[in-house]
């Protein structure tokens, strides 16, 4: 039976979704599930959840909880990472410090100075996982769910021996389904193709029975100017001709057009500090889950199916599926940097994960994605080389940061965030290596 390691299993509610998905597949119901977290209390809660999920779904897995990461990874066939360095307290720093200087962010997990620092703090932890994995289970697949997705996967294949790394995010599928709902069309009647950078990918083709649905979507939007018309990514669709993936909150963080302008924030109803609020809600959910477990109360079994269980079942059973993955751009998207981490369709079967070549993106989309890739690439280099100067460069090139703050302010924000996150950052950055 396959050994599946969940790293960062203390993200209990997401861990429950993954476990429920795994245990729904007959081929995975007797798997060896290894749970790891650095927080003993959360690990204990995750272990209890795992047993509840198995019982509810009639699965008979072996479930082991480890505070020793290498023990969890040893012999693993699949590793699912959902680590979150710094927790809610670290997230507050990423929002509050830039906000004191006048910068707005919605999610701070993709681009923006908050996302840059989330990446800088998480890259050392995830690359440490990958280095351990290369030693104890070199043939395993590493599935990353943590954000900033593009930066983290890029750092793994650039800075460690691990090549079987794929970032997983359902945003392209979700976007296509949302568009189908907007048009009143059953999702299973729609065909689509997406590609780009994670949280800034594009629905390149959206059809039913070979007929382009974009003209119909434009008509629906025009008839709803105060509803759909007041969404940031709908505005991007109007201007660029292709619908972006993920939410308007995520998209707004990746461009200079919305958050620096108060009137745009109001008109497009952008929820500033949205992810900070979600994180606080997640803490409350965790406490409620602990209380329910302690009381022996029923625990809800999630019915959402994540990509990782689908992929693992496909590899184990030779069931062919198509998913979207974040992988190195090895001749997949012609007009994005070859070293960048791109989001593309991937075929999955017993041979593993095979990314699908997309070709060239429309030039306006590639131009925007190249800015994204520049920020991500500089952040990865800053983390792997311990270069503070590159941190500041990444922030200066970042679209929302550059549109919100002058160069001196950007440097001041970076200095404050470096001090605030010192214990989680690469040593060279905290020592000021490479600073001007």
In degrees, to the nearest 5, what angle opens at C-alpha 362 toward C-alphas 356 and 368?
Answer: 100
Residue-level pLDDT at 415: 97
**Cβ neighbours for 128, distance < 8 A, ≥ 6 positions apart:** none
Task: Return the sign of the alpha-carbon dihedral for residues 117, 44, 56, 23.
Answer: positive
With contact defined as beta carbons under 8 Å apart, do 414 and 392 qualify? yes
For each of the domains in the chain, give its residue range(s) and CATH number, in order of start.
Answer: 3-90+112-167 (3.40.50.720), 91-111+168-436 (3.90.1820.10)
With CA atoms as reference, report the closest residue to 116 among 325, 355, 417, 431: 417
Residue-level pLDDT at 38: 96
With contact defined as beta carbons under 8 Å apart, do 118 and 108 qualify? yes
With contact defined as beta carbons under 8 Å apart, do 353 and 166 qualify? yes
Residue-level pLDDT at 429: 95
Indicate the SS3 state at residue 270.
coil
**Helix axes 113-136 and 87-100, enclosed angle (nearest 10):** 150
pTM of the complete model: 0.96
In degrees, to the nearest 5, what angle opens at C-alpha 83 toward C-alphas 154 and 129?
Answer: 60
DSSP β-bridge partners for residue 64: 34
DSSP β-bridge partners for residue 191: 207
- Cα(335)–Cα(330) distance, integer angstroms: 12
- Tens-level pLDDT at each residue, the chain (436 residues): 899 999 999 999 999 999 999 999 999 999 999 999 999 999 999 999 999 999 999 999 999 999 999 999 999 999 999 999 999 999 999 999 999 999 999 999 999 999 999 999 999 999 999 999 999 999 999 999 999 999 999 999 999 999 999 999 999 999 999 999 999 999 999 999 999 999 999 999 999 999 999 999 999 999 999 999 999 999 999 999 999 998 999 999 999 999 999 999 999 999 999 999 999 999 999 999 999 999 989 888 998 899 999 999 999 999 999 999 999 999 999 999 999 999 999 999 999 999 999 999 999 999 999 999 999 999 999 999 999 999 999 999 999 999 999 999 999 999 999 999 999 999 889 875 443 3
In degrees, to the nearest 5, what angle opens at C-alpha 257 toward C-alphas 260 and 362?
Answer: 155
DSSP, residue by residue, 188-208? GG-EEEEEEETTEEEEEEEEE
Structure tokens at 114: 């908050």
The 10s digit of each residue's pLDDT in 252-306 is 999 999 999 999 999 999 999 999 999 999 999 999 999 999 998 988 899 889 9
Structure tokens at 218: 């434009």
DSSP, residue by residue, 79-95? EEE---TTHHHHHHHHH
């Amino acid at each position: 039976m396959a050994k599946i390691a969940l790293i960062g299993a203390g993200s209990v509610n997401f861990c429950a979704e993954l476990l429920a998905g795994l245990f729904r597949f007959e081929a995975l119901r007797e798997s060896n599930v290894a749970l790891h977290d650095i927080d003993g209390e959360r690990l204990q809660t995750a272990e209890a959840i795992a047993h509840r999920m198995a019982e509810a779904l009639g699965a008979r897995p072996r479930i082991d909880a480890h505070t020793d990461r290498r023990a969890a990874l040893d012999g693993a066939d699949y590793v699912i990472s959902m680590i979150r360095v710094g927790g809610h307290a670290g997230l507050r720093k990423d929002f509050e410090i830039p906000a004191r200087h006048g910068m707005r962010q919605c999610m701070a997990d993709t681009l923006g100075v908050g996302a840059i620092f989330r990446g800088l703090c998480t890259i050392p932890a995830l690359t440490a996982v990958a280095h351990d994995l290369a030693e104890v289970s070199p043939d395993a697949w590493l599935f990353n769910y943590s954000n900033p997705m593009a930066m983290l996967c890029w750092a793994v294949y650039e800075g460690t021996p691990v090549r079987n790394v794929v970032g997983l995010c359902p945003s392209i599928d979700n976007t296509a389904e949302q568009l189908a709902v907007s048009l009143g069309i059953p999702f299973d009647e729609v065909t689509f193709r997406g590609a780009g950078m994670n949280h800034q990918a594009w629905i390149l083709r959206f059809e039913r029975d070979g007929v382009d649905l974009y003209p119909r979507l434009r008509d629906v939007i025009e008839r709803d100017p105060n509803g759909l018309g007041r969404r940031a990514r709908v505005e991007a669709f109007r201007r660029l001709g292709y619908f972006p993936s993920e939410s308007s909150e995520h998209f707004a963080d990746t461009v200079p057009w919305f958050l620096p302008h108060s009137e745009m924030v109001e008109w497009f109803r952008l929820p500033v500090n949205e992810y900070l609020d979600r994180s606080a809600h997640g803490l409350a959910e965790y406490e409620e889950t602990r209380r329910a477990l302690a009381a022996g109360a029923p625990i809800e079994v999630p019915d959402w199916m994540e990509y990782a269980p689908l992929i693992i079942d496909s590899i184990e059973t030779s069931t062919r599926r198509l998913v979207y993955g974040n992988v190195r751009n090895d001749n997949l998207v012609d007009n994005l940097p070859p070293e960048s981490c791109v989001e593309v369709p991937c075929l999955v079967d017993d041979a593993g994960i095979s990314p699908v070549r997309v070709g060239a993106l429309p030039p306006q989309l590639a131009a925007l994605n190249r800015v994204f890739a520049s920020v991500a690439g500089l952040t990865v280099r800053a983390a792997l080389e311990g270069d503070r100067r590159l941190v500041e460069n990444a922030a200066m090139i970042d679209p929302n940061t550059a549109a919100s703050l002058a160069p001196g302010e950007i440097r001041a924000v970076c200095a404050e965030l470096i001090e605030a996150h010192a214990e989680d950052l690469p040593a060279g950055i905290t020592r000021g290596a490479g600073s001007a």
